[in-house]
Every structure is written in structure tokens, then in C-alpha cells.
Amino acid sequence: ETGVTQTPRHLVMGMTNKKSLKCEQHLGHNAMYWYKQSAKKPLELMFVYSLEERVENNSVPSRFSPECPNSSHLFLHLHTLQPEDSALYLCASSPIRGPGGELFFGEGSRLTVL
């Protein structure tokens, strides 16, 4: 496998469920990101990890909990979500976090909260 892989591609969950989204990058990058893509809204940066350390949390509700066990893997743990959390969640990685670093995106995980 190459690039950035996200699983599952589709997820339907109830408001009381606990689930996780997984992201894996095979590019040797040092930084990983979670973005939320909702209809008619710009992509929202949720979390940034650089060298496995969380360097940014953009006021994301605590019902979203990221985890970066190593530089190749990134998780987004979900619990007690709301219907408005339904969206496409995109993972990305980059070789450097600084300016000019291009982001490489996965295909996304489409989340539906009932």
C-alpha cells in the first residue's frame, strides 16, 4: 500500500456508541492531521500531530479524542457524538509541518450519526 489510507470508509453510529477512525501513512512523513469536511463549509482543521506530539487542537469538543501512537498511525476516537458531527473526516500527512509542506490526503471516512 502507498499513500494515506483511512478506515473505515463509511461508518454509521448511534449517539451513544463508541467508535474509532484509523489513518495510516506509508510516506515516511513527520506530521499528521485530522480535518472535518461538512457540506457548504470550509475544511476545518481539528488536530495536528508533529513527531507524534499533539501540537494543535482547534477547540474541538472532547467527544473527539485523537491518538497518535507512532509517526505512521493516527486515530480519532469518537464517543457520544451528535447528529451535527456527521461529515467526511479526512486524514492528511506532510513531510514537514513548516511552510511549504504539501499535505497528502486520504480518501476520508464518511461518518453518519443517527
Residues found near other proteins in the complex (CB under 8 A)? 4, 6, 40-43, 45, 48, 56, 90, 92, 97-108
Please state the closest distance from residue 49 (CB atom) to other proteins, in A.
12
Euclidean distance between CA atoms 95 and 4, whole angstroms: 13
Peptide bond into 8 cis (omega under 30): yes
Whichever of 44 and 80 has its CB closer to other proteins, that residue is 44
Euclidean distance between CA atoms 21 and 75, whole angstroms: 6
Q: 1, 39, 44: which is closest to 22 by C-alpha?
A: 1
Whichever of 16 and 84 has its CB closer to other proteins, that residue is 84
Please state the closest distance from residue 76 (CB atom) to other proteins, in A.
15
